[in-house]
Structure 1
Amino acid sequence: MIMDFLERSTTSENDVATSWLYALFAANLYRFCPQIDTVNYPDIYRRLVTSRYRASDDQLSEVLPVKQEVLVGLTSYIEQIKGRPGIVATFHTGSYRLLNRVMCMQGLQVAVVMSSEIIAEQGDYLFAQHAKMENAGALQLIDADASNCLIKLLGALRNGYHVLVYMDGNHGSIPAKDGADSEEVPFFNCNLLVRKGLAVLSHKRNIPIYPILSSLDDQENTLYKSYPTISPNSEEPLEYYISRVFRTLYTHLQEVISSKPEMWEGWLYVHTMPGKRERSNKTRRYQSYWPCRVGTRYYMMISPRYTCQEIGKLSFLCMRKWKRLTRQMKS
């Protein structure tokens, strides 16, 4: 909500590259994908904002805005996994907010893991929308921030629910200080530290993981990409399985957003996810500066360290002019 407010209050159509959210987006994209020319950043960012609003509009639509042929393809996959409840692993890509609705329409019982903040904002509406659906599977919401989240998740699985989890969410149990509950996974040009609890649970309780990601086709229509089941094997060492799970899932994410980076909302908050960065020499080589403003205050964000320093209006205007000049020279 705060980020949405800042976005609305500080950015105009002609000033998109000076908002706080744009600075976060640019720093994150530059950190992970320095090969993308910065001249393309404003257009990618505009498409990302459009994608976010589209995801919200799709969620509010009374008629499911998904083509029948897409549903047919997903139905085939769902029929394969219907008899064995498991963890449906997805990311905040495309029209991700529709996935639980699509799954319920296919007859699955679905438990969605989401933050307490989102449950407070959207929970009543989701249940009201679900109540209007005919012959739909049951819907349950699980608070990712609650101390009994794991118990609720296991209970849902025992009761025949498929549990929908956003793997790139930045909510959940507080990570251990020593990093013992985290797994390092490569993601584009950097590494992320992701919580490995779900992979551990999958291995110990023999729970399958079903990856499904949302994206858009060339005609800007919603589509869903389903991937082979990740099945635990009792003979596979736990640490190998954890590595396989997250490398596989984040490879799927990379495949979806490599050609369409605007599909992933994570560019706005991936800095809040723990990560191991490159050595200092390499970090300096990729360092860059992004002017941004919030209301009448002006800042310089330093990428990829995510530090922010307040500057004067004249310095801000000079830096913004320099950024525009360098983009023009590149183009």
Structure 2
Amino acid sequence: MDYLERNTASENDVATSWLYALFAANLYRFCPQIDTVSYPDIYHRLVASRYRASDDQLSEVLPVKQEVLAGLTSYIHEIKNRPGIVATFHTGSYRQLSRVMYMQGANVAVVMSSEILAEQGEYLFAQHAKMEDVGALQLIDADAGNCLIKMLVALRDGYHIVVYMDGNHGAAPTKDESDNEEVPFFNCNLLVRKGLAVLSHKRNIPIYPILSSLDDENETLYHSYPTISPDSEEPLEHYTSRVFRTLYGHLQEVISPKPEMWEGWLYVHTMPGRREWSNKRRRYQSYWPCRVGTRYYMMISPRYTCQEIGKLSFLCMRKWKRLTRQMKN
């Protein structure tokens, strides 16, 4: 928090301070090997990446190099005639993917939270309506009770289903963990719903992983990975594990060199790991000073709880953080 807290916080800084605290705690939890000195720079690049993704969505012309676009469209043509689940994550210019797909004539159904649907749905339909000779577009509410039925109907009607695997809506793990899969992710584990893998296995639906990133010249890049195909002879448990280990392995591969590519650092704490659910083990806890306006807090990681503290305690804790960082360096 040192970098952001040098000046007096205004009302506009409140959300930023809290988001940075979540970002820092999440990054430290999963990737403790990254030097905390680099956190402010990574965070600002993450914010810039989010704005870029939004600008790309609004652009009338796809801001992608022709050679990159050619590679992605070639992949789309390969999978066009076999509708399946296009598994992607909130990395890079992820918002353009569905647009590129329907511009190549593929029918696309995008699964998104009700909040994002209300915010962007009207614009996305208007953008699609301006184009000629393109595939159809559907938007499916991930939070609706009939989400799965709508996905099945869309697949039956020849649509590809674009799913953000790391979405923090419509995919909250259940308390009894009966329909969750534990996935290794960097230095921790995640619990994710395994419904999509079960659907793929039972209905023989292929999964097409596509992730967005940036190349060394800061240009949009897309990674198209081999199709994950279900096998009726492979036990469901094995297939489920294979699907999510493969997908989150792709995510880890993309963001390892560029952590700022993934928006999930802002909300990955909503996808708890098994160790946080168990009282049998006591995990190492770290404490982060956090200021929101004129009030001071201590964030406790990995539980992501906050306790209000006095200004003097806040200053002492921040000074201690600086000291330990200097000793580490």
Task: Kindly provide the amino acid, as one letter, of the partner of residue 222 in structure 2.
Answer: Y
Partner of 1:3: none
How many aligned positions are there?
319
- Shift in CA distance, 213/8, structure 1 to aligned 2, threshold 3 Å: farther
SS in 2 for 1:49: helix
SS in 2 for 1:243: helix
What TM-score results when the alignment is normalised by the length of structure 1?
Answer: 0.91
- Shift in CA distance, 248/43, structure 1 to aligned 2, threshold 3 Å: same
SS in 2 for 1:124: helix
1:319 aligns with 2:317: yes
Listed as ranges, the gaps of 5+ residues in structure 2 are 1-8
What TM-score results when the alignment is normalised by the length of structure 2?
Answer: 0.92
Q: How far is 1:200 from its partner?
A: 0.2
Q: How far is 1:262 from its partner?
A: 0.6
Aligned equivalents of 1:42 and 1:7: distance in 2? 19
Listed as ranges, the gaps of 5+ residues in structure 1 are 1-5
- Describe how 1:176-325 pairs up with structure 2 within 5 A: 176-277=174-275, 283-284=283-284, 287-325=285-323
1:92-111 alpha-carbon deviations (Å, 9 max, x no partner) = 00111111111111111100
Percent identical among aligned pairs is 83
Aligned equivalents of 1:203 and 1:324: distance in 2? 51
Aligned equivalents of 1:79 and 1:173: distance in 2? 30
Partner of 1:10: 13
Aligned equivalents of 1:183 and 1:296: distance in 2? 42
Task: Kindly provide the amino acid, as one letter, of the partner of residue 143 in structure 1.
Answer: D
Moved over 3 A (4+): 173-176, 278-282, 324-331
1:149 aligns with 2:147: yes
Retained in 2: the 8 A contact 1:9–1:295?
A: no
Partner of 2:5: none
- Describe how 1:44-59 pairs up with structure 2 within 5 A: 44-59=42-57
SS in 1 for 2:296: strand
Retained in 2: the 8 A contact 1:147–1:173?
A: no
Partner of 2:161: 163
Aligned equivalents of 2:129 and 2:323: distance in 1? 54
Task: Kindly provide the amino acid, as one letter, of the partner of residue 105 in structure 1.
Answer: M
Aligned equivalents of 1:161 and 1:256: distance in 2? 27
Aligned equivalents of 1:310 and 1:176: distance in 2? 30
Retained in 2: the 8 A contact 1:112–1:163?
A: yes
